[in-house]
Structure 1
Amino acid sequence: MSCFKLPIGLCNDIEKLIQKFGGYKEEIDEKFIGKIGRLCKPKAQGGLGFQDLCKFNDAMLAKRFWQLVTNTDSLLYKVFKSKYFPNGNISYAKPNSGSFAWRSVLRARKVISIGARWRIGDGTQIRIFNDNWLPHECDGKIISPPSIIPRNATVFALIDSGSCWWNSQLIDESFLPFETQKIKDIPLCAIA
């Protein structure tokens, strides 16, 4: 489950087998226990703790993707990098005609991108208008249209190199007020 994206039909079949393994018939399920949604609730909420296998499969693939992002010394990372993204980053790799394992792991990129946020650091790798880097409950992307700042600029352009702090004037002129406040609230470390 952590290497390949399982087809939805297979996940549904396995879930049905899990229901049968519990010794429940469909009529009894509907009357006393409920459908699979109720069976998948955590035990603390009155369910039986069964997993939604499609979501579990996505989570396991996302874990594998995250291991590739964070553990660049692993053999798996080195093999995938040399074959599928030799000149770039796994986050921007193209889902070309690779192995089924590679395409499965790349599908999990979407799961990671929903919740992942960049940490600013020096800001040289974070694209202002394309990457998730704003904190809090929003999706993390800038929604202000590019005006003064080019579309492909990095967050480094927003940092005053003299003070190692945000360039307040540029930020105020370039972004919506709520984004301006969120940007200025992000702490920066000293750039070496």
Structure 2
Amino acid sequence: MVNKKKEELVFNPNAKTQYIGILISGHLYIEKNLPCGKVVPIFFKKSGEVFGEVALFSSTQTYPCNITAKRPSEIILISKENILKLLLSDILVMNNFLQLIANKALFLNLKTELLSYSSIQQKICYSLLNEFDAKENEIITLPFSKKTWAESLNVSRPSLYRELKALENYNLLKCIDNNKIGIINAEGLANLIMSE
């Protein structure tokens, strides 16, 4: 068991890949530092989630991203050798692990598609419908701030707020508070993705 303080690094791109982590308590952000100095959020991890598994079983020798505790966190670190023993000893664990890897690949494909859209409204609609699996008359709670959401959409925060307001004016959604969004018309959001 490893304890990390708020803003303390768990893994960074200079660290040799030796472990996967299981977050027991707390919150982690997985962020990619770009050469231009920009930081792009990739994943947000909460209690019970696994991280570092893709890097550990890839051909890379280091972790590709910073993994930072966003609040005090307890983490179990498991070596590659111990993970392999566990996978070989239990078919259910192996199946769940492979599903975890496949879901991560699917998420990254969705992220690539999201970033391919040219308009901010398309990115917002796509994110709500695909990353957050929003349904009609549902309230979505963002697992992070709108600033972080803007960064993950690769847009500025003022642009995100402006386009959310426009989507409210179209009666497609309602911003309830800083991290809650009510979906009024999911079909309208889907149509907006395809219209531009």
TM-score over 0.5 for the alignment?
no
TM (norm. structure 2) is: 0.21
More helix, by proportion: 1
* TM-score, structure 1 as length reference: 0.22
Q: Which structure has more strand as a fraction of its residues? A: 2
